[in-house]
Structure 1
Amino acid sequence: MREALIVWGGWPGHEPEQCAAIVAGMLRDEGFQVHLDNSTRAFASPQLSTMSLVVPIFTMSKIEKDEVSNLSKAVREGTGLAGFHGGMGDAFRDAVEYQFMCGGQWVAHPGNIIDYRVTVTRPDDPVMQGIGDFDYHSEQYYMHVDPSNEVLATTTFSGEHAPWIKGVVMPVVWKRRHGQGRVFYSSLGHVAKEFDVPQMRTILRRGMVWAARE
């Protein structure tokens, strides 16, 4: 049986505990044995390299050098990494090794909670299969992103809340490799209620399964 580790904590506004419980249920439905931890010390565990998948849900906060080094090593050796929104894309702001692995870092969400459009750019990819473009109500993440990411969906900024970024096309969903490991990220999912949106939930579920080591 594949094993997954969910590590949750950090800024409470992203409802990490509630989101971790939802993600745990999704992974159990996919046949994973799920472990949950609410301390970044879990990233330093020697057992990390035996996991099929690690899901960080830990907005902001701090990760120690031995923790991020062990996590990066495990992923380079084949452990999958997958996550969403600030729980993965705005975790550990001072840890560039972590950002290098994830393929991006949040920097702004102009207008805060707004309506925006998600454009599917890779409808042929199994993660996006059967999902067309859709409207979304949440934070529209502006991110610094790695050009090596394989982008599956994007959003375009209107410029209403920051005129200088009008027309900027920003990745929303991507896949990448970090050594032997598969990495998946979706910027959707500000709070637990957003898991009620079928597209958000399906994209994350499929992305986690794709990232997990067999």
Structure 2
Amino acid sequence: IVGTAKAEEVRIDPKEVEKMVPATISIMPTGIDEALGPDKLRDLMTFLLGTSPSMPNDRAGGPPPRSRAEVERALAGAPPADSDPRPMQVVLVAGAKDHGPGEHDYPAWLRAWKTLFEAANNVVVTTAMDWPEPEAFETADAIVFYQQGKWNEQRASDIDTFLKRGGGVSYIHYAVDGGTDAAGFAERIGLAWKGGGSKFRHGALDMLFKSNHPITRNINRLQLEDESYWQLVGDAESIDILGSGQDDDAMQPLVWCHEREAGRVFVSIPGHYSWTFDDPLFRILLLRGIAWTAHQPVDRFNELIYLGASVQEKSHGASSNRESAE
């Protein structure tokens, strides 16, 4: 398969190829360096020469790629991208991996999503293991946690101060673990996991979403192969439940947001398997949620959706077994 400058694919029978030699000129459009300018050109080359912002493919049995049509339906209605958005500081926080291949791979997520956010316009991204440095709570716009949660009094103080000044926090999957103070954690994020009391299930999730929130625009239903939590500690009446799925014969909160003082909180229970982070529809939800917590337009990170994502460009007669963006 040969790619052309018009982004077309030309299939050539290998038997017809007499020899192959490196091209002496690039297929990049002529004048692209002048059109982009030095800063955007540097960003482009960094992305092209760097690692793909995707998770390791180290577990068999993942879901099929999404079709581009599914993704475009979810993105419909977005305003044109802002060429000069407000500067934003994002802090990504991970922890030590605590499950098998393809599960709870916090360090791999940290690397992949740092690369992902580095491709965003006017975003400074920093990373931390276990817990951010104190200055992060003074300067960050959004902090994203993907780790096993470890709640204590000092962390409660840091988050309270951060939310009071208008910061945004996002918690993914096991980051909602409240340890010995699940009730105290739930006061900040709405609902929290309690070991020995909360329940979980691996497998197919069929989530239904409310349609009147910016984060869930165009996404009414989403099917994932991941993990659900329920019987969590906290008051479900205190949160805005965005998405839920059925377990124990009842609809259980799986994605929600919450406002506390001047700050905002976004939570996604899905995020157990690495492949979920490469699902472009899950990315839309997560990136919208992160932008929302930072008081930014929810479409702020649309340019990142496809980078390293699992997308089937052409169906060739195949179809996905997952319904979404209805």
Give the structure-1-normalised TM-score: 0.83
- The answer for the alignment partner of 1:7 in structure 2 is 93
Correspondence list, 1:3-42, <5 A: 3-13=89-99, 14-31=104-121, 32-40=123-131, 42=132
Q: What letter corresponds to residue 138 of structure 2 in structure 1?
A: S
Mapped partners of 1:37, 1:140: distance in 2:
26
1:197 and 1:145 map into 2 onto residues whose CA distance is 29
Asked whether the 8 Å contact 2:97–2:107 carries over to 1, the reply is: no
Judged with a 3 Å threshold, the aligned counterparts in structure 2 of structure 1 residues 129 and 8 are, in CA distance, closer, same or farther, namely same
RMSD of equivalent CA atoms: 2.1
Cα shift at 1:155: 0.6
Give the direction of change, closer, same or farther, for the CA distance of 1:206–1:180 in structure 2 (3 Å limit). same
What secondary structure, in the 3-state scheme, does the structure 2 residue paired with 1:59 have? coil
Counterpart of 2:224?
Answer: 136
Choose which of 205, 211, 214 in structure 1 pairs with 2:293. 211
Distance 1:73 1:89, change over 3 A: same
| Cα 1:213/1:133, change in 2 over 3 Å | closer
**Which segments of structure 1 move beyond 6 Å, counting only runs of 4 or more?**
none
Is 2:115 the counterpart of 1:115? no
Contact 1:68 1:98 in 2 (8 A): yes
* 2:165 aligned partner: 77
Q: What amino acid is aligned across from residue 50 of structure 1 in structure 2?
A: T
**Structure 1 or 2: more strand by fraction:** 1
Following superposition, the deviation at residue 63 of structure 1 comes to: 4.4
Contact 2:229/2:269 (<8 A) preserved: yes
Distance 1:212 1:27 in 2: 14
What are the equivalent positions in structure 2 for 1:78-97 lying under 5 Å apart? Answer: 78-86=166-174, 88-90=175-177, 92-94=179-181, 96-97=183-184
SS in 1 for 2:238: coil
Q: TM-score normalized by structure 2?
A: 0.56
Which position in structure 2 is the counterpart of 1:160? none
Q: What secondary structure, in the 3-state scheme, does the structure 2 residue paired with 1:58 have? A: coil
Q: Which residues in structure 2 correspond to 1:49-64 (within 5 Å)?
A: 49-60=138-149, 62-64=150-152
Q: CA deviation at 1:96?
A: 4.0
Amino acid corresponding to residue 118 of structure 2 in structure 1? R
Shift of 1:213: 4.3
Asked if structure 1 preserves the Cα contact closer than 8 Å seen for 2:182 and 2:233, the reply is no
Structure 1 pair 5–93 and aligned structure 2 pair: CA distance change class (3 A) = farther
Rounded to whole Å, the distance in 1 between the matches of 2:138 and 2:180 is 24
1:66 Cα deviation after fit: 2.3
Name the SS of the counterpart of 1:210 in structure 2.
helix
Name which one, 1 or 2, has greater alpha-carbon Rg: 2
Q: Is the 8 A contact 2:207 2:244 kept in 1?
A: yes
| Matching residue of 1:156 | 246
Taking a change above 3 Å as real, the CA distance of residues 152 and 63 of structure 1, as seen in their structure-2 partners, is closer
**What is the aligned partner in structure 2 of residue 162 from structure 1?**
none
The verdict on how the C-alpha distance between 1:172 and 1:84 changes in structure 2, with shifts beyond 3 A counting, is same
- The answer to whether 1:185 aligns with 2:267 is yes
